[in-house]
Structure 1
């Protein structure tokens, strides 16, 4: 039986192209590139949703944007791995959240996953810290103040992942967001994320 991997994230998991504002085609998006790298032993489930947050549900989008949408995915699939790629949208200026508050949102999500699988085998969890958000382009004012929180947020996520004995990947070290909008990753970034995830998953099943 194939091992199922759930990629649960925001617009960078969905594959938003920073140049066009539309979605990259499948051969570019990191979850599907990951599927190609891993081969027939695994099946990859894309679950990226623009504006998805850890702490707040953005207005007008509804439940799909919040972490509450994770439970139906857990119920629908027998998962071997869950990749959590969230936190970028929580840095938006209007939320006024500290890295610690965003980290608490991640902790709450991980606690909910543990509760869901209580008494049963839990999937392996991989936590990604967001890439380093910049204040440029059309999102300059949306993410005002985010650069001063980037490093602290990464440390929060790393500490939480280690405490939970989950796998951790620091995207700030490996991935650069687009200079056009300061938030989204380009095709090269998607390829790098896929390679990082492939290495971690192969390590987990070595």
Structure 2
């Protein structure tokens, strides 16, 4: 039976292209690359939203960016699920949102609890969970982005260690996005086409292992 994977993330999952201030071609987004790598063994659902946080409010958009508030509805929409990939935390680095890696780690913990305790329809078993640390923020000459993430370079560099420890504690899978991808200096936050493709390719092995395919 084909496995179903939900990719729950922010603009890195949506496919924001800092060079064009648009969206990467569908084939270049990391969920699409992962889908191609897995072929017919799994169905990938890309659920990315620009500005999405782990579990914090951000009222600077005409949508709800609080990942914890929206997640239960999305879980119910796409059930049954075999795996949920959580790739969030960069936007938590904004001081107006949370401003620390520790807060983002708490937010990821909240999302894991929501998945584990969800009232799945029709007695479906809950999915496996894979926590992915986003590639760290880097220095940029983009003034608006740099101003939005003061202290973000140092704080985001802590995410991988914190997320790895959290995954061990909660019995989740873990993947460090820094091991295969780097953010673009154009804005210090996002991934160019090469790096978002690399993230999709890098995730194939652990996703196959967690799905047993």
Match of 1:3 in 2: 3
Match of 1:29 in 2: 29
1:200 maps onto 2:206 in alignment: yes
1:17 maps onto 2:17 in alignment: yes
Match of 1:116 in 2: 118
Match of 1:50 in 2: 50
Deviations 1:161-202 (A, max 9, x none): 111111111112321100111000011111111112211111
Instruction: Say which of 174, 181, 194 aligns to 1:188.
Output: 194
Structure 1 runs (4+) deviating above 4 angstroms are 117-120
Matches within 5 A, 1:89-100: 89-100=91-102
Structure 2 gaps of 5+ residues are none
Match of 1:69 in 2: 70
2:98 and 2:5 mapped to 1: Cα distance? 33
1:158 maps onto 2:164 in alignment: yes
> Number of residue pairs matched?
206
The answer (yes or no) to whether the contact 2:7–2:48 under 8 Å persists in 1 is yes
Structure 1 gaps of 5+ residues are none
The answer (yes or no) to whether the contact 1:6–1:44 under 8 Å persists in 2 is yes
1:62 and 1:72 mapped to 2: Cα distance? 18
Segment drifting more, 189-198 vs 43-52: 189-198
1:125 and 1:115 mapped to 2: Cα distance? 13
The answer (yes or no) to whether the contact 1:135–1:141 under 8 Å persists in 2 is no
2:163 and 2:62 mapped to 1: Cα distance? 25
1:10 and 1:27 mapped to 2: Cα distance? 18
Segment drifting more, 18-27 vs 90-99: 90-99
In the TM superposition, residue 124 of structure 1 has moved relative to its aligned partner by 1.3
In the TM superposition, residue 151 of structure 1 has moved relative to its aligned partner by 2.7
The answer (yes or no) to whether the contact 2:55–2:111 under 8 Å persists in 1 is no
1:57 and 1:95 mapped to 2: Cα distance? 7
2:60 and 2:149 mapped to 1: Cα distance? 19
1:134 maps onto 2:138 in alignment: yes
Secondary structure of 2:40's match? coil
1:180 and 1:41 mapped to 2: Cα distance? 36
2:157 and 2:147 mapped to 1: Cα distance? 19
Matches within 5 A, 1:68-87: 68-77=69-78, 78-87=80-89
In the TM superposition, residue 154 of structure 1 has moved relative to its aligned partner by 1.8
- TM-score normalised by length of structure 1: 0.93
Cα RMSD for the two superposed structures: 1.7
